[in-house]
Amino acid sequence: MSIHSSIRRLIRPIAVASLLCGSFVAPSILSAQQPYKIIDRWKIGGDGGWDDLHADSQAHRLYLTHGTRVDVVDTQTGKLVGSITGLHGTHGVALDDAAKFGYISDGSGNAVVVFDRASLANVATIPVGKNPDGIVFEPATQTVWAFDGRSNEVSVISAASQKVVATIPLPGKPEFATTDGKGLIYDNIEDKNEVIRLDAHTNAITAAWQLTGCDSPSGLAIDVASSRLFSVCDGKRMAVIDANTGKSLANPIIGDGPDGAGWDPVHKLAFASCGGAGTLTVIDASAASYPAIENLPTQRGARTMTYDAATDRAYLVSAEFGPRPDPTPDNPRPRPPVLPGSFVVLVVGR
């Protein structure tokens, strides 16, 4: 037997073993790398603008803030099941962990509106600060946190009493918030380029961290398992920081005009919905360089999003627009009008 034959015989079983091992791990690797695509478009219709949206995995519902109401969509059929009305100008929705109540930040009404999730009826209106925007339910303390965008404060509401139990001044204009589910809440401070950390047990700010390479942070997502925060920023950047120390970990490139963020804990992917670019950027957060592995074309104006980890689907909303009005001294940066009846949900999956 020649030396070359011996080497070939030695290499063959190693190669076969490698292939077998590869076939064992390949499904998860391929799943993480398989590109997303728009798999459906649900036309909701109606008039007016929109802001944030929230997916309820267990009930198969999607809550859409839509001007003076919140539209509720069945995620199994894509059909509108009802609307919560009588509002003034909605921004966000938070849900309790008992599947009983939901909470709407009614910005133009300077209030948080509580609704029954079974009937969609309004059950309480709680006055808060000026223009509540970002809103989260904190399960460890059973509280709702409404971040008041024009009064630079957060109103803390007891879910038991449906009353404000604390008002905490903030160092600047708050944007989107998120929680680790254990009593810590994080919020982007847009005009300071900061992330703050609050303790729901003490109702106090415990840290304020300057974001590196980030201007006007808005959307915020959290990786609880690895203690990381993902802030989306103007200038086509995402700021990734350590949620314990505030240390900057990365500044991956994303699309233009982001406002929403999401996190996939299974495949370790971070998302940025970029309305200016009309793209959804997907960041591989399992890699040390945090590369963008996809920039999925979505639709102009699709700036906010929610991610449903149970189905590995992201939802975005947008509409068609008319011509942008000319600037005026009172409105130097006018928005183009939304065309009536064109409001739509974009369903993103694999």
Query: For residue 301, is it within any domain?
Result: yes
Q: How confident is the model at residue 23 (pLDDT cuts 50, 70, 90)?
A: very low
Query: For residue 117, is it within any domain?
Result: yes
Query: For residue 82, is it within any domain?
Result: yes
What's the pLDDT tens digit per position in 41-74?
999 999 889 999 999 999 999 999 999 999 999 9
Range(s) of the domain holding residue 184: 36-349
Query: For residue 10, is it within any domain?
Result: no
The 3-state secondary structure of 125-151 reads EEECCCCEEEEEEECCCCEEEEEECCC
Query: For residue 22, is it within any domain?
Result: no
pTM of the predicted model as reported, rounded to 2 decimal places = 0.89
DSSP H or E segment with residue 165: strand 163-169
Query: For residue 8, is it within any domain?
Result: no
What's the pLDDT tens digit per position in 235-254?
999 999 999 999 999 999 99
As a whole-number percent, the residues of the chain with pLDDT over 70 amount to 91
Write the CB contacts of 297 (distance below 8 Å, at least 6 apart in sequence).
278, 279
The residue-averaged pLDDT of 205-234 equals 98
Q: How many domains does the chain have?
A: 1
Query: For residue 271, is it within any domain?
Result: yes
DSSP state of 9: H
What's the pLDDT tens digit per position in 275-318?
999 999 999 999 999 999 999 999 999 999 999 999 999 999 99
CATH number at 100 reads: 2.130.10.10
Query: For residue 40, is it within any domain?
Result: yes
